[in-house]
Amino acid sequence: MQRMLADTVVVLDFETTGLSPEYGDRAIEIGAVLLEEGVIVDRFQKLMNPGFRISSFIERYTGITNDMLKGQPRCEEVMAEFAGFIAGRNIVAHNASFDRRFLDAELKRAKRAYEGACCCSLLVSRRIYQDAPNHKLQTLVSHAGIPRTGQFHRALADAEMTAHLWLSMIGRIRRQYKLQTVFFDQLGELSRIDRLYAHRYLTSLAEAGGCRGVRDEGAGESGTQCNSRRIMWYVLY
């Protein structure tokens, strides 16, 4: 299977009625941008009616009001459409465990599913921007010098700013480690490594030429898969 580039992804964000679909919370807005080789080529944004009134706290936090949600399509209708937008793409989100829970729950209600990979830009940022005061999106946008594209806590604006943050981290890796190509699975691996070993891991990728052309047993005839045991040896020893 061909490896996917890190800068060709869908970056998404949900605004919701609360913290978890396990407690009956629902999505009220989805925003997403499609990146292809580092360029935003498409956008998706929809409000959706959860079927009940949202709290005054959520209205203040997001700027989305109950009046705005009146007459909006049901979550199932929106998510059935969004399933086509992300089909065949890897996805990125800031604090991705939150967004992935709602993505899976709402797609299930729409009788759809997502089979791709997901990476958390917050976890990656903890390894790339270790000097940031914290790793909230608003803080990182300021820390990395990323222009604001709209109001924080609105889905499309957050998705666009997360996309620019994601690209800034890829750019920093390319410059600092002289890596011409950064793959999505490499940033997924980076997000799971202790931040103390992040520099060593990225250095090992550079020494291995980004793992391009490294033969891995079981990788098939293309031989383009990174030999993870070789890389992890550098990290652990």
Give which of 161, 162, 157 is closest to 62, Cα–Cα: 157
Architecture of domain 10-184: 2-Layer Sandwich (3.30)
Q: What is the CA radius of gyration of the chain?
A: 19
What is the model's pTM?
0.89
Q: What is the pLDDT of residues 145-198, one digit of tens each?
A: 999 989 899 999 999 999 999 999 999 999 999 999 999 999 999 999 999 999
153 tagged catalytic: yes
Q: What is the pLDDT of residues 98-122, one digit of tens each?
A: 999 999 999 999 999 999 999 999 9
For position 221, what pLDDT does the model report? 35
Strand 39-47 with 118-120, pairing: unpaired
Instruction: Give yes or no for residue 224 having a pLDDT over 60.
Output: no
H or E segment to which residue 93 belongs: strand 91-93
Distance of alpha carbon 180 from the chain centroid:
21
CB 232 within 8 A of CB 166: no
CB 161 within 8 A of CB 167: no
Name residues whose C-beta falls within 8 Å of residue 120's C-beta, 6 or more positions apart in sequence.
92, 93, 94, 95, 96, 97, 191
What residues does CATH 3.30.420.10 cover in the chain? 10-184
Q: What is the pLDDT of residues 11-33, one digit of tens each?
A: 999 999 999 999 999 999 999 99
- Please pick, among 94, 135, 153, 164, the residue that the annotation labels catalytic: 153
Average pLDDT, the chain: 90
Handedness of CA 228, 125, 86, 24 (dihedral sign): positive
The CA distance from 165 to 180, in Å, is 19
